[in-house]
Amino acid sequence: MGYRFLRSIPAYTATPRLTDVTFIPAAPAHQDLLERWDEQAHVIESDPHDDWNWGVELARTVAWREQWLALAAQTPIGFIQIIDPQQEESHYWGDIAAGYRAIDIWIGEADFLGKGYGTHLMQWAIERCFSDPTVHTILIDPLTSNTRAIRFYERLGFVFVRLQRFGEDHCHVYQLPRMRA
């Protein structure tokens, strides 16, 4: 479907097209994959101090969170988490009004970086957040040191709000307000 083979080079596998990306709920069956991705250098660089506790969290269903696995031509390529920060039980974002969503996103394997998948996944997550008419703003919190992610979010229209420390991490807080018609 998303793979094409060149006749002159039979071993060549093209990168799956963005149109081949689908999303499925993350599930306990994905634990090993997500734990392996957590060990990838580029994932550690963007999220060095978090313990996602996959064995517990993938088995829990809570009203304030969605966790998604992105597949390109049926190959897992990334993870997205969307939370309601007002309802989230750890209060990571502090006391916050209704109408916000916060997104965590990453590409699992370095081979899929720089191919447009991150943009595609983020656009999907943004559309999903704003499909709820009560959501007016999306939040993200890239590490201050992750300049690549900061440029990525700025290209998508996110606006810098403040510097904030979350646990051991120094972050830039960005927001994307709903566009008014």
Both tokens assigned to 59: 């088995």
Distance CA 21, CA 121 (A): 8
Q: Where are the alpha helices (DSSP H) in the chain?
A: 31-38, 41-46, 54-57, 117-130, 147-155
Does residue 128 register a pLDDT over 90? yes
Domain ranges for the chain, please list them: 21-177
Residue 124: both structure tokens together: 């999907």
Q: What is the band of 85 on the pLDDT scale with cuts at 50, 70, 90?
A: very high
For residue 69, give the DSSP letter. E
Query: How many angstroms separate the CA atoms of 141 and 157, rounded?
Result: 14
Which string of DSSP letters, residue by residue, matches 54-65? HHHHTT---TTE
The structure tokens listed for 24 are 């499925």
Q: Per DSSP, what are the bridge partners of residue 78?
A: 70, 107
Identify the pLDDT of residue 5.
29
**Model confidence, pTM:** 0.85
Whether the per-residue pLDDT at 10 is higher than 50: the answer is: no
The whole-number average pLDDT for the span 64-74 is: 94
Digit-coded pLDDT (tens) for 22-57:
999 999 999 999 999 888 777 767 765 567 888 899
Q: What is the CATH number of domain 21-177?
A: 3.40.630.30
Please state, as a whole number, how many other Cβ atoms lie within 10 Å of the Cβ of residue 106. Answer: 23
Q: Burial letters for 32-58: b for 16+ Cβ neighbours within 10 Å, e otherwise?
A: ebbeebbebebbeebbeeeebebeebb
- 111 or 155: which carries more pLDDT confidence? 155
Per-residue pLDDT, 48: 58
Mean per-residue pLDDT of the chain: 85
Q: What is the CA radius of gyration of the chain?
A: 17
- What whole-number distance in Å separates Cα of residue 126 and Cα of residue 102? 10
Structure confidence at residue 129 (pLDDT)? 97
